[in-house]
Structure 1
Amino acid sequence: MDFITGDLAPNTPHLFADLAELLLMTGYIGRNSLHTNDLASLLADGAVDFEDLDIEQDAEVEAAQKGQSSSEKSQRQENQLEEVFKHLSYRAQALKAYYPFVVANNTLSLVEPAALSLRYRVYRLLLACSRLRSFEGATGIRQHWAKAFTQLSQYALAGLAPKQAEVRIFDANSTDRRDYYGTDLRKALNKLGQDLAVLTINGEECQKAGSSGDAGLDLVAVVNFDDGAATSYALLAQCGAQETGWPQKTLAAHALRFRSYFQMPFDYPSVMFTPVCYRTATGEWTDNQAATGVLLLDRGRILSLLDAQDCWQAIVEEPWFLAFENGFLGVNAQD
């Protein structure tokens, strides 16, 4: 399997920061530290991501109109790299024990491999799932790692639910769908409605859903009181192992989307998991719109929930986690 840098996002510091970390994690530059000059060289030779292209083109047009010199243009690049290192510094301060890097003197350094703690190993999974497009050459690897992110999120969701809650994966390709809900979505929705103790299940609408898919629901945590009365307590969650596309999925598991299937006395809380560190250099959301209508759990919040349960050892012993590590450690870095 190969790691490729791909298109760059110089105007999106949290995404460019992920690339910087992966350059070290994968051994792309052949050493354990990366200076801002290394990123400058990458910017000079690399292609710009489509979403950043308009910004760069507008900047070039404006520079030409103002007759800016090459030194003024290089200042723009310096400002971009400065923002990246501000974001990396935020990570080092905010993530602390979870963060497998040191940021100092415009240099990002990877901790010694022998010092990779359980927390650091889980961080590596989240980092890789934030930029799956950079991993190529192994059949289905992106799908396998995205599935691993969902399984990791199952652990994190347990940290939000009461201890007696049952936390299951509703995703179509999961073990829970096969063994508990059933692979046929129509039957799975009926089982879900029973677990949620809804007032009524609209069987006709469930039939219209068809036999495949997951209706936008990846994870569900349920506290069933088993007392014959309507309504269990539940959390409905969606997982987006995507670099930029996940904000379009934030409402995929919202209770509003299930009203055609179930008559519910109230809307269950909705959660959105993303492996991305979706922050500015001051710790705010990059865009508050992505956190509208759901509880947004990004990289830092996921790590915090896992830490509160102290489930690191259990995670790294999971077959899906070991499969990820074996794949990642076999990555070949290339231009």
Structure 2
Amino acid sequence: MIFLDRPRDHDDHTVADFFELLCLVNMDRQISTDTLRDFIDDNRGNKTFQLTDNQLNDVLGQIGWRIEAFADWYPFRLTNSDRVLQAEDLLTDNQKRYISLLACGNLPFFPRANRQALTDFFEMVSGSVLKEMWPSNGQSIIVGKNNTELTGSKADRMNVLGKLLGGNPNIQDSDFRAGDRGDGGIDLAAYLTLDSWEHQNIVAALAQCACSRSDWTIKHGEITNTRLRSLIPSAVPWAELIFTPISFRSNSGKWAVPADVPGVTLIDRLRIVLSLMRLEPTEFQSIPQFVEDLLGYRLDVV
């Protein structure tokens, strides 16, 4: 169900995620910073990972920022002089949606058999967020192969997509390797048709959904105009977006490591939640069954 050993790096936001997951599955749904450190020491195996008192204080600062930023979507609170993290026994639907994004941003802790359902869920959520953010007279579509709204061969789908983006593609099946029915690295697309006569020189965007904590910063390379312009020649470069369930924030709410953020529009966990807050409940995706099962799971941490 869940295999917690150690955070994958020392960033405050990464350790805070681990803290939240451990709290969520502990018997009484509360965990102290001392217990967090002891648990990592006991389960890290042959990996070197230690947390100093200062690092633990920084993690608590990260939790404090999340309490403010995510408001009533946040399912945790600090108790015992702000040294113990506690989750409510009964979570609201919105708090379950936060947990779903938390799970999507921490795939290595879950069985491989469950990861596809989480990434598919995140792609659908990202599609809803892109639709909410995009001008109401525009269109947004899911392109990812598991949820795509386009039909036909890869060449057929890419030709349709290229025309929607304002390009004049002439893609052939022979442009791809035999049997390639992938999505070309594109998960989402959006466009704003400006008149009914001329489809070129419009406003458009391509987006990648990136759950991996280790390589999300380079995923945008798959949707750049530089990479795709030979297939989709367009007079105007499209905007490039990355959606990630990772909460890539410092304790002040700024980017955790500004130099790691590529030159794209970044929609991280907070920006996703803020967008979802503006949607009607009927527009939300169902909570993944795996997350519902996770919420009923308990681990004897101490």
Question: What corresponds to 1:24 in structure 2?
Answer: 23
With normalisation by structure 2, the TM-score equals 0.89
How has the CA–CA distance of structure 1 residues 331 and 32 changed in structure 2, closer, same or farther, with 3 Å as cutoff?
A: closer
1: distance between equivalents of 2:102 and 2:281? Answer: 16
The amino acid of 1:276's aligned partner reads I
Counterpart Cα distance in 1 of 2:4 and 2:135: 42
Deviations 1:20-51 (A, max 9, x none): 111122x2x2012211111121132132797x
Give the drift of 1:119: 1.9
Tell me the CA shift for residue 236 of structure 1: 0.9
Q: Distance in 2 between matches of 1:9 and 1:49?
A: 14
Matches within 5 A, 1:13-92: 13-25=12-24, 27=25, 29-47=26-44, 53=48, 77-92=52-67
Seen in structure 2, the aligned counterparts of structure 1 residues 49 and 181 have a Cα distance that, compared at 3 Å, is farther
* Alignment partner of 1:203 is 2:182: no
Counterpart for residue 156 of structure 1: 129
* C-alpha distance in structure 1 between counterparts of 2:43 and 2:202, whole Å: 52
Q: Secondary structure at the match of 1:167?
A: strand
Deviations 1:270-304 (A, max 9, x none): 11011011011111212223322210111001101
Distance in 2 (alpha carbons) for counterparts of 1:10 and 1:239: 21
* 1:246-261 paired onto structure 2 within 5 Å: 246-261=216-231
1:198-277 to 2 correspondence within 5 Å? 198=167, 200-203=168-171, 207-210=174-177, 211-229=180-198, 230-277=200-247
Q: CA deviation at 1:9?
A: 4.0
Alignment partner, residue 289 of structure 2? 323
Q: What is the Cα deviation at residue 228 of structure 1? A: 2.3
1:226 deviation in Å? 5.0
Task: Give the number of the structure whose residues are more often helix, by fraction.
Answer: 1
In structure 1, give the amino acid aligned to 2:294: F
SS at match of 2:4: coil
In structure 1, what is the Cα distance between the partners aligned to 2:133 and 2:233? 25
AA aligned to 1:40 is R
In the TM superposition, residue 143 of structure 1 has moved relative to its aligned partner by 1.0
Q: Can you give the 5+ residue segments of structure 1 that lack an aligned partner in the other structure?
A: 57-73
**Rounded Cα–Cα distance in structure 1 between residues aligned with 2:113 and 2:133:** 31
Return 282-291 or 153-162, whichever deviates more: 282-291
Q: Does residue 1:120 correspond to 2:117, yes or no?
A: no
Q: Which moved further from structure 2: 4-13 or 38-47?
A: 4-13
CA distance in 2, matches of 1:80, 1:197: 49
1:328 partner letter: L
Q: Residues 224 and 333 of structure 1: is their aligned pair in 2 closer, same or farther, counting only changes over 3 Å?
A: farther
Deviation at 1:92, TM superposition (A): 1.0
3-state SS, counterpart of residue 65 of structure 2: helix
The residue aligned with 1:98 is 73
Deviation readout 1:176-198 (Å, 9 max, x if unpaired)? 1xxx343x221111110121231
SS at the partner of 2:284? Answer: helix
Note the alpha carbon deviations across 1:40-78, whole angstroms, 9 max, x for none.
21132132797xx5xx6xxxxxxxxxxxxxxxxx9x621
User: Could you say if the C-alpha distance between residues 35 and 299 of structure 1 is closer, same or farther in structure 2, counting changes exceeding 3 Å?
Assistant: same
- Aligned residues with identical type, % of pairs: 26
Contact conserved, 1:119 with 1:312, CA < 8 A, in 2?
Answer: no
Q: Is residue 244–residue 269 contact of structure 2 (8 Å, CA) maintained in 1?
A: yes
Moved more, 295-304 or 90-99: 90-99
Q: Give 1:235 deviation, angstroms.
A: 1.8
| Count of equivalent residues | 296
SS in 2 for 1:221: strand
Q: Which entry has the higher C-alpha Rg, 1 or 2?
A: 1
SS of 1:228's equivalent in the other structure is coil
C-alpha distance in structure 2 between counterparts of 1:175 and 1:215, whole Å:
12
- How far, CA to CA, are the matches of 2:300 and 2:181 in structure 1? 38
| d(CA) in 2 for partners of 1:287, 1:295 | 15
The question of whether the paired residues in 1 share the 8 Å contact of 2:6 and 2:18 is answered with no
3-state SS of paired residue (2:52): helix
- Supply the distance in 2 between the matched residues of 1:330 and 1:250 (Cα, whole angstroms): 36
Shift in alpha-carbon separation, 1:259–1:329, aligned structure 2, 3 A: same
CA contact (8 A) 2:142 2:189 kept: yes
Cα RMSD (Å): 2.4
Which string of whole-angstrom CA distances, capped at 9 and with x for unpartnered residues, describes residues 283-335 of structure 1?
12122233222101110011011112x2334315x4xx343444434546477
